[in-house]
Amino acid sequence: DVKVTQSSRYLVKRTGEKVFLECVQDMDHENMFWYRQDPGLGLRLIYFSYDVKMKEKGDIPEGYSVSREKKERFSLILESASTNQTSMYLCASSLSGRVGGEQFFGPGTRLTVL
Partner 1 sequence: QKEVEQNSGPLSVPEGAIASLNCTYSDRVSQSFFWYRQYSGKSPELIMSIYSNGDKEDGRFTAQLNKASQYVSLLIRDSQPSDSATYLCASHNQAGTALIFGKGTTLSVSS
List of residues contacting partner 1 (CB under 8 A): 31, 33, 40-43, 45, 48, 50, 56, 58, 90, 98-108
Cβ proximity to partner 1: between 50 and 74 the closer is 50
Cβ proximity to partner 1: between 49 and 75 the closer is 49
Q: Are 108 and 33 in contact (CB under 8 A)?
A: no
What's the min distance (Å) between Cβ of 16 and partner 1?
A: 28
Cβ proximity to partner 1: between 41 and 114 the closer is 41
Cβ proximity to partner 1: between 87 and 106 the closer is 106
Q: Are 11 and 109 in contact (CB under 8 A)?
A: yes
Residue by residue, DSSP assigns 17-79 as --EEEEEEESS--SEEEEEEEETTTEEEEEEEESSTT--EE-S--TTEEEEEEETTEEEEEES
What's the min distance (Å) between Cβ of 114 and partner 1?
A: 20
C-alpha 43/C-alpha 90 separation (Å) is 9
What's the min distance (Å) between Cβ of 97 and partner 1?
A: 9
What's the min distance (Å) between Cβ of 104 and partner 1?
A: 6
